[in-house]
Amino acid sequence: MEIWFHHKSAEYHGGHKAYPAGGTFRKYENGQLFLNEKSLVFIKDEKREEKRIEIIIPFTSVAIGNYGISKENKRGVIGGGGIGIPVDNINMMVGGLFSYDGKVNCLSIPYIDEYGVLQKPVFGIPSFGGKEIKKWSHELYKRVLEVKRNTSALPLNGNSIAVTNSTDISISKENLQQILKLRLVKGEIAKEGYNEWV
């Protein structure tokens, strides 16, 4: 599978229910971010299994209506130091940690996972002036729209709904409402379109 973009020091700021982010010294996780022809993938590879993160977001499941760039708080530790001071034949140590707080542009990508649960992961891509995040956002948006255009539903024909790929799928009227609700949550159809069919 062809990889279009790859960033070796991407950040995951949380938002996925299975993968909390952050720890003592920072509010995010470092890992690699990939954009290929079908999905966006974030991987944090760790020896300990409980610390690994693998988030795969298929383009077909992205809720495009809520997708975009957001500002996230970023906190971390730059470094620390200390100095010994002799006082009355006793060496006293004085030291501290130097930390930073700030905001960073992040890519917020709500999507429906394989269990039908809405996830809202947020990813950061460090760069000067936020150039990288804008480039990724533009490319991802373009790819998601392209995939959704190829898999969008056609109007109802009798008791079934057709899908515009190589095969047609028939859906009963009973299941149609569930499918339309899911597509509404994903942002594939507007509320007006949903109301028109229900």
Query: For 129-168, how does the pLDDT look when each residue is reduced to its tens digit (9 = 90+)?
Result: 778 888 998 999 899 888 888 876 444 444 444 444 433 3
Collect the ranges in the chain with pLDDT lower than 50. Answer: 76-80, 97-101, 153-171
The correct CATH number of 3-150 out of 1.10.1040.10, 2.30.29.30, 1.20.120.10, 2.50.20.10 is 2.30.29.30
The pLDDT of residue 167? 37
In this prediction the pTM is 0.63
Q: What is the largest distance, in Å, between two alpha-carbon atoms of the chain?
A: 94
Is 55:45 a contact under the CB 8 Å cutoff? no
Distance between CA 110 and CA 185 in Å, rounded? 10
Distance between CA 63 and CA 148 in Å, rounded? 10
Helix (H, G, I), strand (E, B) or coil at 123: strand
Domain(s) of CATH 2.30.29.30: residues in the chain: 3-150
Q: In sequence order, which residues have a C-beta less than 8 Å from that of residue 147 and are 6 or more positions away?
A: 38, 59, 60
